[in-house]
Amino acid sequence: MFGTDLPNIATGLGHRTKYGSVVLSPGARVAAYVRSTGAQSDDDPMLATNLVPTLSAGLARCRSGFNDVVFVLPGHSESVTDGTTMLTNLVAGTRIIGLGYGTNRPVFRWTATGSQWAITKADVQFTNLRLLLEGAVVVKGIVTTAASTAILNCEINTGTTASTNLATIGVEFGAAADNFLFQQNYVHGIAGCTSTSVIKVAGVSDGGMILDNKIMAATATAATIGVVDITAAATGLDIGRNIFQNRLASSQVGLSVTGAVACTGVVYNNFVAVEAGTPVSDSFLVNAASLLRFFENYGTDTKNTSGLLAPAVVT
């Protein structure tokens, strides 16, 4: 006699779907499902039993170091109102995975000047979320100071209304954020919302990765600050296959190293679009103290043109 349930497949090998790595590793469990609107009449019994209305409540069910998963369901909406409450219960190794596609993905909106996600626990992942850092003039939207944290396949909005709805600093990687991973994210803000820094590497760390992102936003300082800004002697940086567009009307820089910081690593296969300046020398603007190496990067400041190889070729 045939049953109606899907088969239960036990395996130690994970696989990736459009929702992220949703197969549990040995020892891990689904700690909670998060949906702000509560239970629905046709919810699966297991989902309904483990449903909570807030991310904080879901995180409280996770065990440190076990790689437990919190699924945030389509349609969830929640406000980040301060710098501590939402992630107070975060423990090492947790995976927060949003379900859904496009505008159906779960939404978190920063609604106060001090709204912030401070990621201080190692080995945590945030995947497939809509993170709106534009509900106020937000001082610093997201900052991580822990090792091996990851932000993956998220939409991050850094500004919708000039002067009133924008992040002064969007995402910051601070001291000791070794092996951070920022990958396949779409970061965007309108041209009139000028962040001091959109993505900032602000602390000494090793092995950080910024890969496969589309970052299209505006910075406040046209001639010297890019949408990715490195201000500390981070080592072993891996920055590749990104699209950087500085949307400020007079922008010149896509990636910058500001200050006399001896950062190291490789920057490769990136494409920079700006509105002014000299593409070869300005698209990637690095201080003389920088020790970065560049391979196959291109920049343009003019519409309908192909980019030039940047920075200048070694001789």
Whether 199 is in a domain gets the answer: yes
d(CA 57, CA 70): 10
Question: Considering the domain boundaries, does residue 104 fall inside one?
Answer: no
CA torsion 296-174-54-217 (nearest 10°) is -40
Q: Please report where in the chains the tokens 């069910």 appear, as a residue.
A: 61
**In the prediction, which pLDDT does 5 show?**
55
Is residue 228 assigned to a domain? yes
pLDDT digits (tens, 9 = 90+) for 4-52: 455 454 443 334 454 444 678 788 999 999 999 999 888 998 899 999 9
Indicate the burial class of 295 (C-beta count within 10 angstroms; 0-12, 13-18, 19 or more).
Answer: exposed
Return d(Cα 167, Cα 49) in angstroms, integer: 37
Q: Rounded to 5 degrees, what are φ and ψ at 53?
A: -90, -15
Query: What was the pLDDT predicted at 12?
Result: 38
Say how far apart CA 54 and CA 75 lie, in whole Å.
Answer: 12
Burial of 195 (0-12, 13-18, 19+ CB in 10 A): buried
Q: Do residues 195 and 223 lie in contact, with contact meaning Cβ atoms separated by under 8 Å?
A: no
User: Per residue in 231-247, pLDDT tens?
Assistant: 999 999 999 999 999 99
Please say whether the beta carbons of 179 and 147 come within 8 A. Answer: yes
Asked if residue 230 is part of any domain, the answer here is yes
Q: Please state, in angstroms and rounded to a whole number, the distance separating the CA atoms of residues 238 and 314.
A: 20
pLDDT at position 131 is: 98
Q: How many distinct structural domains can be found in the chain? A: 1
> Tens of pLDDT along 210-222?
999 999 999 999 9
Domain that holds residue 182: 75-85+110-309
When the pLDDT of each residue in the chain is averaged and rounded to a whole number, the result is: 93
Residues 6+ apart with CB under 8 A from 252: 222, 223, 224, 246, 274, 275, 276, 277, 278, 282, 283, 285, 301
The full length of the chain comes to: 315
Domain for residue 151, yes or no?
yes
